[in-house]
Amino acid sequence: MDKYNIPYVKTFEFTKIIGIENINFGKYIIIDDFVLIYAKEKIKIGNYVHIANFSSITGGNTLKLGDFSAISQGCRILTATDDLKDIGFGNSTIGNKFRNIKSLPVNIGKFCIIGANSVVLPGVKIGEGATVGANSVVTKDLESWGIYIGNRKVGMRNKEEVLKNYEKFLATLENERVGKLFK
């Protein structure tokens, strides 16, 4: 099944996209069942992106997902949230003048992987090739090609080998690059 009939994008019966007119879709994207995308502002989803089941993208600010990025199961990408530290109280049932809303763009670079059940907060930029371990909360920018648990860098990805494999990918015919859902 392909619920939304977006060219080169696979969606399923229980995929939910609100504000689809605000989304710029690349090619060869999979958006699993039980994913919620609420696009109040512009969202750009690059090529060869997978957004896994039970994930959500919400908040009301902009988002960029780079080519070959993956949002694993149960992730939350928030482009806006209530900051309850200062004057803010309540929730969406009260006027914004009583709330302290933090609304900032999120940018997830090319070749990034966000591990299962992780949360990315507003204003975060995740550099190219960075990976985030499962159950992380990302509150600040992450450097390119790092391996992170939360905001703590625990290692580095092998950028040279990833890019070498990417060159092989580019040298392959398009119909041989894609997974079976696109054949």
- Is the confidence at residue 157, as pLDDT, over 90? yes
Q: Does residue 155 fall inside a structural domain?
A: yes
CATH number, residue 79: 2.160.10.10
Q: Does residue 126 fall inside a structural domain?
A: yes
- Residue numbers of the domain that contains 128: 43-50+61-182
Residue % of the chain over a pLDDT of 70: 99
Say which range, 1-10, 27-36, 61-70, 148-157, has the weakest mean pLDDT.
1-10
Q: Count of domains in the chain? A: 1
- Is the confidence at residue 131, as pLDDT, over 80? yes
pLDDT band at 111 (very low <50, low <70, confident <90, very high): very high
The string of pLDDT tens digits covering residues 82-106 is 988 888 887 889 898 888 899 999 9
Rounded to the nearest integer, the mean pLDDT of the chain is 95
Q: Does residue 157 fall inside a structural domain?
A: yes
User: Measured between alpha carbons, how far is 139 from 120 in angstroms, rounded to an integer?
Assistant: 7
Q: Does residue 168 fall inside a structural domain?
A: yes
Q: Identify the CA nearest to 20 among candidates 2, 1, 5.
A: 5
Q: What 3 state SS string does the chain have? A: CCCCCCCCEECCCCCEEECHHHEEECCCEEECCCCEEECCCCEEECCCCEECCCCEEECCCCEEECCCCEECCCCEEECEEECCCCCCCCCCCCCHHHCCEEECCEEECCCCEECCCCEECCCCEECCCCEECCCCEECCCECCCEEEECCEEEEECCHHHHHHHHHHHHCCCHHHHCCHHHC
Q: Does residue 55 fall inside a structural domain?
A: no
> What pLDDT is attached to residue 87?
84
| pTM for this prediction | 0.95
Torsion of CA 134, 32, 146, 139, to 10 degrees: -70
Q: Does residue 172 fall inside a structural domain?
A: yes
- Is the confidence at residue 1, as pLDDT, over 80? no
The string of pLDDT tens digits covering residues 3-54 is 899 999 999 999 999 999 999 999 999 999 999 999 999 999 999 999 999 9
Q: Could you tell me the two tokens for 28?
A: 């060869």
> What pLDDT is attached to residue 83?
85
Q: Does residue 152 fall inside a structural domain?
A: yes
